[in-house]
Structures are given as structure tokens and as C-alpha cells.
Amino acid sequence: MSRTLILAIESSCDETAAAVVADGREVLSNIISSQIDIHTKFGGVVPEVASRKHIEAINSVVEEALKEAGVTLEEIDAIGVTYGPGLVGALLVGLQYAKGLAYSLNKPLIGVNHIEGHICANFIEHKDLKPPFVCLVVSGGHTFIVHVKDFGKFEVIGETRDDAAGEAYDKVARAIGLGYPGGPKIDKLAKEGNPKAINFPRANFHDNTLDFSFSGVKSAVLNYLNKMDMTGQEVNKADVAASFQQAVIDVLTENVLETCKRKNVDKIAIAGGVASNSALRRELTESAAKKEIKVLFPAPVLCTDNAAMIGSAAYFEYIKGNIASMDLNAKPNLKLGER
Ligand code: KG4
Ligand code: ZN
């Protein structure tokens, strides 16, 4: 039987990406053109700049993905594309490009939810992984605990009520002068610090919810830095990075393990940019092992934004017959499980 080949396109934020994925699990190419250098100058993503850069890059990124995979457009079975959530102008670039291809080639178009894509990165990394499992999605824009009940079937168990985990990393990194994107830099610096040096708050809701809040810990770090500055004391940046990171990891770990208990699930997959954090990987794996729960994570290149994960998600929609119409629009606030 021949393989199903998906050409996938991702442009929801600041990476222009295209990939060719076979049968939802095998990556034939995964091309990512990052705009990080440009946005670093502004300390974060500038939406208007992102859209323009996507337009400049998309054609060559797609061509490169096909070339590296060694397949022609005629051999592709379907075109998968992220249509939300994300920056509307950025999403529209990838979506219009994908629609143009699908229309001119007369191939099916599959609309993909970016968050579902992050979750599906685990299907690429772990060839035998099947639902049910619990997924912790931690990225620059999102923080979710999801009960993945079946392929394409998701129940949101907890989410952030304010900042996303990656956003908190980025803001704290900026406050201690590490630059953008802050996650990898805090990850590195924290290795030299003491995670118990400063006791930053762990948000705790008293209503049985598994939601998160990261704006409190972020403000606590800013207040601490301010206080040290006012009193003329020197800040140990590595201790701040390690203590902040510990506060974030503690709540992520606690809530995801509680979800496994409530849903009677013994497998956790993590996804999104923050899933490449070395301390989160280690500590979650250790804490889960004590409860005989297994933790899976994708390779770092599949954690941060990429199109291979979109190709995987598109495949599972394609085999269910979920084909989009040509009037598919970008949905900047698309919810998980919503079509
Ligand atoms: O998934 P992603 O590439 O984009 C979104 O969909 O948001 O995630 C980017 C986020 C940024 O906030 C970045 O600082 C964070 O992931 N990140 C990390 C690490 N690598 C990337 N956070 C903590 N530790 C890391 N090693
Ligand atoms: Zn993402």
C-alpha cells in the first residue's frame, strides 16, 4: 500500500515552516525559517513584521521541503495548514498559500489547529504512541493540560488564566537582561543557580481546578529585582532563574500528575516550546516515575514551532475525511477541539 504524503505549512507566529510527512509519523523533510533575529531587536514578535517576513519566505521554504523530501507536488496527497490560533496576519499568509496550492493542484486542503499540532509532535517521536494519554502543552502562547482521548479527540482539563508558561519565561528573561526568546537562556543559566534560593509563589486556586496562573510568579520576580535594586543589593541572576523555573515546574508537575490520577491515565506527553526545557523534562519524569507514570517528549526541534507536527495532525484528520472547504478562514482564537 502506498504511503499518504502530506505537505504541511505553518506560519502562525514567527517561524515560516513547511514539511512533508508520510502516514502522520515519518518526517521526510522539516524546513523552518526563523524570524528570531529580527524580532530580537524589538524584544518580542512584531505582528506586522512577522506577516511580511512570512510572505518573503514561504515560497522558498515550501520548495525546499519538497526538494529535501524528494517528492513532487503531484505526488502529495493533501495539503495541511495551520489556520489558528495565532496572529491573524501571519496565519493568513500560510493559509492563502496552501489554498492556492490545493486549488491549482486539485488536492484536498486540511485545516489544522496549531495546538493539536504541538500534541501530534509526540506521534512523530514515538511511533507506537496511541491515545489515551495526558498532554501538557507549554508554549509561548499557550499552557494547557489536555486529555487526549483518541486521535483528534481532546478534552481541556486545565489552562492558564493569564500568562502562558513560555511568556513568563520570556518576560523574566527580559527583566534579568537575558534577551528574547528567554526560555532557552533561563534553562541554561538556571543550571548554575540554586532553585531554593528565593521562594517565589506557586499560584494555588481553591476551587478544585487544574488551571494555572503565571502572572503572579512573574510579578514576584519583578518585585524582587526592584527591591534588590532599591536597596543596592547585588542580584544573583542564576539564583533568580533557577528559583523562578522551580516555581513554574512545581505547578506544572503537580497539576499534570493530578490530572493523571483523576483520569486514571499512566502516560504523559509534553509538547510546545517549553517542553524542550531540560529541568522540566527531568523533574516531571522523576516525579511521574514514583507514581508509575511514563513521560514522553519530542526532540527539541519538534517542540518549538514546526510544520512536521502540522503534517502529523493533518494526516489524522485526512484519514477521517475532515477536508476543509476553500472558504476556510484564519481563526486567531481557535479553541482546542473546535472546527
Ligand atoms: O511552541 P513555541 O515555539 O511557540 C509558540 O507556539 O508559542 O514556543 C516558544 C516558547 C518561547 O516562550 C520560548 O521562550 C520557550 O518556548 N522555550 C523554552 C525553552 N525553549 C523554548 N522555555 C523554557 N526552556 C526552554 N529550553
Ligand atoms: Zn507553537
pLDDT digits (tens, 9 = 90+) for 208-233: 899 999 999 999 999 999 999 999 99
User: Range with the lowest mean pLDDT among 84-88, 115-119, 180-184?
Assistant: 180-184
| Mean pLDDT (whole number) for 170-195 | 95
User: Range with the lowest mean pLDDT among 35-49, 126-140, 298-312?
Assistant: 35-49
What pLDDT, on the 0 to 100 scale, is given for residue 209? 94
Query: Taking the complete model, does pTM exceed 0.85, yes or no?
Result: yes
Ligand in nearest proximity to the CA of 36 = 1
Atom from ligand 1 closest to the CA of residue 188: 26
Q: Which of 116, 160, 169, 176 to mutate to test the pocket of ligand 1 (most atoms within 8 A of CB)?
A: 169
Q: How far is the CA of 55 from the centre of ligand 1 (A)?
A: 23
Percent of the chain with pLDDT over 90: 88
Q: How confident is the model at residue 174 (pLDDT cuts 50, 70, 90)?
A: very high
CATH number, span 5-119+303-318:
3.30.420.40
CB of 190 within 6 A of ligand 1: the answer is no
Ligand in nearest proximity to the CA of 183 = 1
What pLDDT, on the 0 to 100 scale, is given for residue 1? 66
Query: Options 3.30.420.40, 2.30.40.10, 3.40.190.10, 1.20.120.1200; which CATH number does 131-298 get?
Result: 3.30.420.40
Nearest to 6 by CA among 116, 85, 98, 100: 98
The CA distance from 112 to 16, in Å, is 15
Q: Which of 82, 304, 305, 334 to mutate to test the pocket of ligand 1 (most atoms within 8 A of CB)?
A: 304
Residue stretches of the annotated binding site for Fe cation: 114, 118, 305
What pLDDT, on the 0 to 100 scale, is given for residue 39? 65
pLDDT surpasses 70 at 109: yes
What pLDDT, on the 0 to 100 scale, is given for residue 35? 74
What pLDDT, on the 0 to 100 scale, is given for residue 87? 94
Nearest to 24 by CA among 149, 128, 104: 128
CB of 113 within 6 A of ligand 1: the answer is no
Ligand in nearest proximity to the CA of 167 = 1
Q: How far is the CA of 306 from the centre of ligand 2 (A)?
A: 8
More confident position, 205 or 212: 212
pLDDT surpasses 70 at 73: yes
pLDDT surpasses 70 at 187: yes
How many CB atoms lie under 10 A from the CB of residue 70?
Answer: 10
Query: What angle (nearest 5°) sits at the alpha carbon of residue 280, between those of residues 226 and 119?
Result: 115
Q: Which of 14, 143, 274, 305 to mutate to test the pocket of ligand 1 (most atoms within 8 A of CB)?
A: 274
What pLDDT, on the 0 to 100 scale, is given for residue 36? 75
Averaged pLDDT of the chain: 95
Residue whose C-alpha cell is 529541568: 279
pLDDT surpasses 90 at 38: no
Atom from ligand 1 closest to the CA of residue 164: 12
3-state secondary structure of 291: coil
CB of 84 within 6 A of ligand 1: the answer is no
What pLDDT, on the 0 to 100 scale, is given for residue 207? 85
What pLDDT, on the 0 to 100 scale, is given for residue 173? 96
Residue ranges of the chain that CATH labels 3.30.420.40: 5-119+303-318, 131-298
Nearest to 40 by CA among 175, 214, 180, 232: 180
Strands 133-138 and 267-271: parallel
Contact 300, 272 (CB under 8 A): no
